Chains A and B, each alone.
Chain A
Amino acid sequence: MTVTSAGMPATGAAPSANGAAPAMPVSFQRRVIRTGLLGAVIALYLCMVGIVPIFNARPLVQGVISLGQAALILSLFATGFVATRRVAESSGRLIADGAIAGGLSGVALSALVLLGSVVDVRAFLPNASPVLYGILTFNLGTIGFWIPMAAGAVLGGLAGAIGLASPRMRRSLFVGLISLFALGLFAGLIRTPMLQLPVAELARLLFASDGLTLIGAVVVLVASVGLHHVQRTRRLDLQFAALPPSRRRRIQVPLIALAAVMILVLPQGLGSFFAQVIAIVALYVMMGLGLNITLGLAGLLDLGFVAFFAVGAYTVGLLTSTAEFGIAQWPFWAAVPVAVIVAMVFGAFLGLPILSIRGDYLAIATMGFGEIIRILAGSDLLKPILGGPRGIINIPKPIEVPPDSFLAGPNQIYYIALIGAALIAFVAWRLRGSRLGRAWIAIREDEDVAEAIGINLIQTKILAYMLGAAFAGLGGAVFAALVGSIFASSIQLMVSINVASLIIVGGMGSIPGVIVGAIFLIGLPELFREFSEYRFLFYGIALIAMMQLRPEGLLPSKIVRREFQHGGGDEPPESSASPLAL
């Protein structure tokens, strides 16, 4: 509603712009206008859903720019960039077009400010508040209504001017801005451990408690652009790849050792909250690696994956709990293998009836299985055994330590989850290269041919379900110990969907991809709890963007990557921008 009304003046301006420059091809001029209007819609949306006002609380560069402002600036800049992209025009026109498109977006924001000064629209749009207008006008009030317009024109013009720069410069600039953004977001995380080290002064110089300092911002920008330039000109990754294996190892081994030490001391530097976030990421890595076998390798979609997680968690709960429903009060370590085996049995149990189902039907059938387990866990029928909605409580920690010890609380689970994830990654890696792994991939590629080659479909598919379930069961077992209790409400369809999404985002069939996917889809939302309202908005944007820009995933398996290198041809391998260079 508001979008159209605010966009009105812009629509009115379109014919006159066409009339003023009759020499211009109409379609081209229209494109600029259309992009500008689209930008206006996006900018208004950012304001209206509250992203701008809420994110404004978090500075990106202390005292200079907040995250909310950055979002708006980004949207205006992007509008100008998209409007002038892939157009061969004179420099003057490029800047003018960018300015028109960006300005149009700004006009919509200005119109919003003016509208807000006359009518109070908060009844329908709770976020269209004086706070928002203050952000848009730098607290000048209605008199500052021109500011968004002017800012839009300037930013759009700048974006147009970037089109003039060489691709290399443009890329350097983007790398710099992205680094700035990323480091600004994670400044707190980087600063906290640094403060405990001899580099505390440096940390204070570069990072504020939230966001970068002004000096930090300049340093990050210069350093990232510089590094990117060095990488471009010297091609360090290629130099590294060209080294003989022995010398390559001499560089790799210390790096890996350093990473391992950092991972080990991380909870001390960052505190238990962060340790817990990583433990949750590790749990999802375990489940992700499990589903990676069923879905990523064998191609069997399973949307009820949370069921195995639940089986693992409940098994550990029942066997170890010291409260009402505990049946054995075993130690955690004795219960874990049982949990894994029970999960495998359930995997076979799920696999058998759905062996011959394919494709979409498989998704529905497995989702149904997940729901059955969830409903059973919370049902009155099993209440005497599983506790119903009240669940099983008092699951002891795996290692009993005094409460003030370093291993107390989440830290302990951090290590256990990491060890579990590493173990599973190793098993998954060995399986991937084995006879069974190849059979799984063959089934994924062409089930009929795979069978005609001599692969027993029943056996191979059941093994895929069983081993996938085993990994998820181990994840569930660790989860039960992490939380200390297990409730029916922990078993959500959303968990299954999360696991499937992280595989898709990370790259189907790729083990590092699962880890990266879990960090992006599980770790980041946990770290940015304050914006959790928008979690699914960003989730959706991320998935759509992935499908558009990198359908093969962030870290695709070697084979898929090879396919893109040999086959595609139209997309040069992006060694500089991608983390693969390591």
Chain B
Amino acid sequence: MPLLTATAVTKKFGGLTAVNNLDFEIEQGSIASLIGPNGAGKTTFFNCIAGFYQIEAGQIVFDGQPIQRLRRDQIAHLGISRTYQNIRLFANMTAMENILVGQHYHLRSSWIGAVLGTKGVREDEGRAHREARRLLRFVGLQNKGDLLASNLPYGDQRRLEVARALANKPRLLLLDEPTAGMNPAESQQMTEFIRHLRDELGTTILLIEHEMRVVMGISEKITVLHYGQKIAEGTPIQIQTDPLVIEAYLGRGSAGTAGHEATAIPAVEATQGGASAGPTPASA
């Protein structure tokens, strides 16, 4: 049974239909990717799942429960965590505090207890700090807990954002371009980290990604969006050879020439059909 099922989801901005009648499923414990050219509606779909946008039509069911009318915090409570395309950490909090906030829902201490310093609150806080330290170690930031989030290097910020999302003990983790702005070595690390996440924690992961090496390397299922519509879905091999996908990326007429090569689908809006090793520019 799929963990998340979206049926005929439609999201419009004025006259623009950003997500159009989209059906989508993700299996428990799998890693799936959403790809597509700029403006294809990938992040919009993320925002619909996480409750940032109200959808006009359709239904999103998470673990048997419709979530399209829930508030963001309620969706988080159900076990959906996300990261953001342009990193959105709490910049003036330390790395440690970012993770502690991430555990908000799982801590149970009331403010009155905190003022009185009750035993329960102290234990709760102790557990929270231990868990935060564990997560910092897990993402490789063990010595950086006291640094302000805004002072961390870029790659560390991405990892901290993942750690903050993990602090909510999510069952579904939405990663929006986790390797954006990273060099090949860093994005390789991130890829391994994502796989490690799923293998270690069993978290179901849905990612938006432009870097084809990452996408093809770890996804078990890839969904391709174009102008808000699903144009293809399948395993990496199926997607690489799908003429519709190649057309969407390269334009009409190139389908016959570049179809066989794994890296032929260029990252983002690069128009030439060569390999795309460099960091991909963030899309709007």
* Chain A residues within 8 Å of B, Cβ to Cβ: 427, 430-431, 433-439, 441-442, 445-446, 448-457, 463, 467, 559-560, 562-563, 566-567
Contacts and interface: CB of A to CB of B under 8 A. Distances in A.
Given A433-B114, A441-B92, A454-B77, 6 more contacts: A427-B115, A430-B114, A442-B90, A451-B72, A453-B102, A455-B104
A567 B148 contact: yes
Interface in B97-145: 97, 100-102, 104-105, 107, 109, 111, 114-115, 117, 121, 124-125, 128
Contacts of A560: 92
B183 interface: no
23 contacts: A431-B111, A431-B115, A434-B109, A434-B121, A435-B111, A436-B114, A438-B101, A439-B104, A441-B90, A441-B92, A445-B90, A445-B92, A445-B93, A448-B52, A452-B52, A453-B101, A454-B104, A455-B73, A457-B73, A463-B111, A559-B92, A559-B93, A567-B151
B97 A438 contact: yes
B84 A566 contact: no
B21 interface: no
B212 interface: no
B82 interface: yes
B89 to A, nearest CB: 8
Nearest to A456: B73
Contact of A435 (B76, B93, B104): B104
B91 interface: yes
Q: From DSSP, what is the main secondary structure of chain A's interface residues?
A: helix
Contacts of A456: 73
Contacts of A563: 92, 148, 150-151
B88 interface: yes
B50 interface: yes
Contacts of A457: 73
A457 B76 CA distance: 13
Nearest to A437: B114
B150 A567 contact: yes
A50 B55 CA distance: 66
B102 A559 contact: no
A551 B72 CA distance: 34
Contacts of B148: 559, 562-563, 566-567
A453 B104 contact: yes
A448 B84 CA distance: 11
Contacts of A438: 93, 97, 100-101, 104
A313 to B, nearest CB: 24
B114 A434 contact: yes
B111 A566 contact: no
B72 A452 contact: yes
B73 A451 contact: yes
B90 A430 contact: no
B229 interface: no
B94 interface: yes
Q: Tell which of B102, B121, B148, B168 has the most Cβ of chain A within 10 Å.
A: B148
B69 interface: no
A50 B50 CA distance: 63
B237 interface: no
Contacts of B117: 430
A452 B102 contact: no
A454 to B, nearest CB: 4
B37 interface: no
Nearest to A463: B111
A454 B90 contact: no
B94 to A, nearest CB: 7
A30 B152 CA distance: 45
B229 to A, nearest CB: 26
Nearest to B102: A453
Q: Tell which of A439, A456, A463, A560 has the most Cβ of chain B within 10 Å.
A: A456
Contacts of B201: none
